[in-house]
């Protein structure tokens, strides 16, 4: 497995493609947006003229795309152009139904496939430390291991078709709920006159400890460097978190699962995005929540 097509060279896709090239793979990329293509060319990634052009003769095709509808359209082109036996690895975060449909389309064409969404954000993509949550056959997973290892540190085979997407949306629902909980606690602590550093020192070493406080603290000047220290410029944007929460609630509805906190988190992030959070990190919900009164 040497020749890799990489489709979707945005903020996540480009550093992933660069890490593949650094690992010795021959990478040929494609993106529909001019700015992404220009950045990729500047980073030394060879560019294709289309999705089909990128996929032709590739041993594996990696995709990092915005949503399930775009994934379906891209797979129509890729599958028609892919060589027999090629491996398709979709790293997008999409709904489970579209992920399974992509697997089925690949299987009908005699191609191996994986859904392999990631966690770790832009920093993890650049550092090659992403976590991959992978759905698909064991054979396809093992075939993909060298590629995924070039882009990530942790590879988890979650199960069959769509299992990677299921794991991703469940994880991000937990993340959203925990971030809101941490932000609410800091807001309450502020109003009670508790020093923020004292609050951090207690919670980060006590039963309330979680990633949202000890690694990605939503208040500036405390703990590890985070987007809060950079005016909440996105590492993982609020609109992307809202997208994942909507996917989690769509999945919950499809199987009759009750997720009241996940549903409320989706409502809160929808309001935050609508009220100025569209260009902020998802941890930027902290100052938005802090300025609310109990009545409002």
Could you give the residue numbers annotated as active site?
Answer: 168
DSSP code for 82? P
In whole angstroms, give the CA distance from residue 74 to residue 185.
43
CA dihedral (177, 183, 186, 191) in degrees, to 10, reads -110
Label residues 177-212 b or e (16+ Cβ within 10 Å = b). Answer: bbbbbbbbebbebeeeeeeeeebbeebbeeeeebeb
CA 292-169-163 angle, to 5 degrees, is 170
- CB 203, CB 213: distance < 8 Å: yes
Token reading at 282? 């998802």
Strands 152-159 and 118-119: unpaired
Token reading at 173 = 């629902």
With 0-12 / 13-18 / 19 or more C-beta atoms within 10 angstroms meaning exposed / middle / buried, residue 118 is: buried
Q: Which residues contact 85 (CB under 8 A, 6 or more apart)?
A: 110, 111, 112
Q: Residue 256: which residues within 8 A CB-CB, separation 6 or more?
A: none
Could you give the CA distance from residue 195 to residue 200 in angstroms, rounded to a whole number?
A: 9
């Amino acid at each position: 497995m040497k020749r890799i097509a990489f489709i979707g060279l945005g903020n996540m896709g480009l550093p992933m493609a660069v890490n593949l090239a650094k690992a010795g793979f021959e990478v040929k990329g494609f993106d529909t947006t001019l700015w992404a293509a220009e950045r990729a060319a500047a980073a030394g990634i060879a560019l294709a003229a289309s999705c089909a052009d990128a996929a032709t003769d590739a041993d594996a095709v990696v995709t990092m795309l915005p949503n399930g509808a775009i994934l379906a359209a891209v797979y129509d082109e890729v599958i028609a152009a892919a060589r027999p036996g090629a491996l398709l690895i979709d790293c997008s975060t999409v709904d489970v139904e579209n992920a399974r449909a992509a697997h089925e389309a690949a299987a009908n064409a005699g191609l191996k496939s994986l859904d392999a969404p990631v966690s770790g954000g832009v920093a993890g993509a650049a550092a090659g430390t992403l976590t991959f949550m992978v759905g698909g056959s064991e054979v396809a997973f093992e075939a993909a291991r060298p590629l995924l290892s070039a882009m990530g540190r942790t590879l988890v085979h979650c199960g069959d078709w769509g299992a990677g997407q299921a794991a991703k949306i469940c994880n991000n629902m937990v993340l959203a709920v925990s971030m809101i909980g941490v932000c609410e606690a800091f807001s309450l602590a502020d109003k009670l006159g508790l020093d923020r550093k004292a609050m951090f020192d207690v919670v980060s070493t006590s039963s309330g400890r979680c990633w949202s406080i000890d690694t990605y603290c939503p208040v500036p000047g405390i703990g590890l460097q985070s987007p809060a220290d950079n005016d909440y410029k996105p590492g993982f944007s609020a609109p992307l978190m809202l997208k994942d929460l909507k996917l989690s609630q769509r999945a919950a509805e499809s199987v009759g699962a009750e997720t009241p906190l996940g549903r409320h988190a989706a409502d809160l992030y929808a309001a935050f995005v609508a009220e100025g959070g569209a260009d902020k990190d998802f941890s930027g919900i902290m100052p938005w929540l802090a300025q609310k009164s109990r009545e409002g």
